[in-house]
Structure 1
Amino acid sequence: MSKVLTFGEIMLRLSTSPGTHFSNIVSFQAHYGGAEANVAVNLANFGYDVAFASKVPDNALGLSVKRHLQKYGVNTKPLLLGGNRLGTYYLDSGVGERSSAVIYDRANSSFASVQEMEWDFEQLFENVDILHLSGITPALSEKLAEISLRLVKEAKKRDIKVSFDINFRSKLWNHDQASRTLAKILPYVDYCSAGKMDAIYLLGIPENQTEQDDTDYYYQKMHEKYNNIEVFYSTKREVHSATSNSLQGTLWKDGKTYVSKVHKLEPIIDRVGGGDAFSAGILHGLVTGADLNYTVSFASAYSGLKHTIYGDCNPFAIRDVENLMENGSAKINR
């Protein structure tokens, strides 16, 4: 199987229980997670050789993060120790008409404080076939934006496929900042997670005024702007309430769009990590050369399953996902 390298920040997530609020909280559920770390865990769960490059403090929390990743089979050799603190964020879990809310506490974290390229390219990219990172990392600092760009350039020099999830976070940077950075990174990307809103507000694609289907139109226009990108993918989510969504996966390649069935997600136990599960599912299909209808259907089902459990990590095996795809129901497996 292909060797995958992911690069980004892993954090401690402290979540309220449904039906509580930050203003009167007495306890939190604790989980470790972050976009790139989640993709690493998900792919390791499928049997891939995956390494996660990041930096965590040299204390008990840093050791706990390392053990968390190792428990799932992720190679932590490029996980550096140092800095002052582990990034943290708080999640107020929504229910019904009350949406979830996030408060970040990640300033001056060990990873966000990185000021130079601390990873050796030769060691980092040894036998690597795919590099995966997201727009969250360059949003953390100008220095990490520079490092992200260096990584994708170096990967392309070594004929390594680059996977990039735009993953825009308005609490980390604005549209203009993101657009300028993306314009530098995307010319080196092979697989890209980007949807309609990304196309309009970050990539400068004019809104669809034609009779063409929105999905086809925006994928086509993004490819015209960045014809180096072989595959675009994203999800369409209809939010009925905080605990009831409809989800459909889409994938574009060689001028053709592929869509999954619509998954009704109700009740949602934990939405965080659903997009990362989708990305991991897409990468699994692309690496194995699977049929693209299968690939987008697999990724959507895998993402749907993630919504049924607490925490960022998705523990379901390939056979579990394919069982859902085949049976399409929650009937008991006997």
Structure 2
Amino acid sequence: MPKVVCLGEIMLRLSAEAGVRLQQTQQLEVFYGGGEANVAVSLANYGHQVQFVSKVAENGFGQAAEQHLRSYGVATDYLLKADGRLGTYFVEQGTSQRATSVIYDRQDSVFARMTEPEWELATLFNKTDLFHVSGITPALSPQWQTLTLELIRAAKSAGCKVSFDCNYRQNLWSQSEAANFLKKVLPLVDYCSAGKLDAIHLLGIPEAGTDITYYYQKMQELFPNIEAFYSTNRIVHSTCINELQGTLWLNGSCYTSKNHLIDPIIDRIGGGDAFSGGTLHGLLKGFSPEEVIEFATAAAVLKHSVKGDCNQFNESEVLQFSKSNSAAIKR
């Protein structure tokens, strides 16, 4: 199986029960996750050798974060530890027409405070097939923008492909800051998770209808080095009922998955990461484009059915679901 390195911040997530406001809750559910960590878990579930590269607090929360990763088979050889705090975020689950809201408390975490690479880059990417990182990491600080580029260049020098998920978060940085960084990083990227809104608001592509093929074509013209673009199209009927469809641009053609109605949604957080993990798995395994997008979308849909940030399904379960048209009991 291909070897993958994922870099990012794993965080403590504290969630109020659905229907209870954060300011009124008397108890919070505990989960661990983060964009790149969730992708790492997905790929480990599918049988890949995955290393998660990060830094956590030298305390019980950091230990729990490491145990979370290891419980899914993610290697933590490059998980640094230091005195300080683990990044945290709080979730107020939406219901009906009220959207889920997130409050970040990650400033000054041990990961966010990093100013230089603390890993041995000569060995970090040794015999690695893919390096995955997202736009969340460079959004943490100007230093992390420089670090992200340095690590990506080290990965490219080692001969491995680079996967980048734009993953824009308005609570972390402005559109102009993100756009400036994308101009620097995307020429180094092989696989990119980016959709219509990224194309318009971050890459400056003029809006022209809803056809995703147009936006993929324009992004490909800007960055001919990128082999694959992928994204999801979500129709929100309510917080608990969505439709989801995946799209993939590969070898100059656009491929679209079947449309999935998700009703009800148990936990939407991490659905995009599950989609990215499924796409990367299909590309690494050499699936046909149609197989890649159906697998990735099925993985994202399944993630919506479980609590927590990460996908909890293996390859055979995702394949079985992608080929099924029924939720009947399996006996």
Secondary structure of the 1:104 match is strand
Letter in 1 for 2:14: L
Secondary structure of the 1:23 match is coil
Partner of 1:205: 205
Letter in 1 for 2:290: N
Partner of 2:323: 326
Worse-superposed segment, 320-329 or 277-286 = 320-329
Worse-superposed segment, 219-228 or 319-328 = 319-328
2:185 is the alignment partner of 1:170: no
Secondary structure of the 1:52 match is strand
Q: Does the Cα contact within 8 Å between 1:269 and 1:308 map onto a contact in 2?
A: yes
Secondary structure of the 2:119 match is coil
Q: Does the Cα contact within 8 Å between 2:115 and 2:147 map onto a contact in 1?
A: no
Q: Does the Cα contact within 8 Å between 1:83 and 1:113 map onto a contact in 2?
A: no
Q: Per-residue deviation at 1:127?
A: 1.3
Partner of 1:289: 286
Query: What is the correspondence of 1:177-192 to structure 2 with a 5 Å cutoff?
Result: 177-192=177-192
5+ residue gaps, structure 2, are: none
State the distance in 2 between where 1:25 and 1:123 align.
46
Letter in 2 for 1:265: I
Q: Does the Cα contact within 8 Å between 2:126 and 2:158 map onto a contact in 1?
A: no
State the distance in 1 between where 2:119 and 2:325 align.
44
Worse-superposed segment, 54-63 or 32-41 = 54-63
State the distance in 1 between where 2:83 and 2:196 align.
38
Q: Per-residue deviation at 1:320?
A: 1.1
State the distance in 1 between where 2:122 and 2:129 align.
14
State the distance in 2 between where 1:79 and 1:237 align.
34
Match of 2:236 among 235, 239, 255: 239
Partner of 2:46: 46
Partner of 2:256: 259
Partner of 1:127: 127
Secondary structure of the 1:327 match is coil
Q: Does the Cα contact within 8 Å between 1:83 and 1:109 map onto a contact in 2?
A: no
State the distance in 2 between where 1:287 and 1:117 align.
27
Partner of 1:105: 105
Query: What is the correspondence of 1:55-94 to structure 2 with a 5 Å cutoff?
Result: 55-94=55-94
TM-score, length basis structure 2: 0.98
Q: Per-residue deviation at 1:66?
A: 1.1
Q: Does the Cα contact within 8 Å between 2:6 and 2:37 map onto a contact in 1?
A: yes
State the distance in 2 between where 1:324 and 1:288 align.
19
Letter in 1 for 2:22: F
Partner of 1:217: 214
Letter in 2 for 1:26: Q
Question: Cα RMSD between the aligned structures?
Answer: 0.9
CA-to-partner distance for each residue in 1:134-192, whole Å, 9 max, x for gaps? 00000000111101001111111222100000000000000000011111110000000
Letter in 2 for 1:192: C
Q: Does the Cα contact within 8 Å between 1:138 and 1:145 map onto a contact in 2?
A: yes
Q: Per-residue deviation at 1:321?
A: 1.1
Partner of 2:227: 230
2:270 is the alignment partner of 1:273: yes
Runs of 4+ in 1 over 6 A off after TM superposition: none
State the distance in 2 between where 1:137 and 1:156 align.
18
State the distance in 2 between where 1:175 and 1:192 align.
18
State the distance in 2 between where 1:66 and 1:245 align.
32
TM-score, length basis structure 1: 0.98
2:295 is the alignment partner of 1:308: no
Query: What is the correspondence of 1:122-161 to structure 2 with a 5 Å cutoff?
Result: 122-161=122-161
Q: Does the Cα contact within 8 Å between 1:42 and 1:313 map onto a contact in 2?
A: yes
Secondary structure of the 1:22 match is coil
State the distance in 1 between where 2:101 and 2:125 align.
37
Letter in 1 for 2:304: H
2:21 is the alignment partner of 1:24: no
Secondary structure of the 1:173 match is coil
Q: Per-residue deviation at 1:293?
A: 0.4
State the distance in 2 between where 1:321 and 1:81 align.
34
Secondary structure of the 1:91 match is strand
State the distance in 2 between where 1:72 and 1:119 align.
23
State the distance in 1 between where 2:253 and 2:299 align.
22
CA-to-partner distance for each residue in 1:185-241, whole Å, 9 max, x for gaps? 1000000000000000001111116xxx62110000000000000000000001111
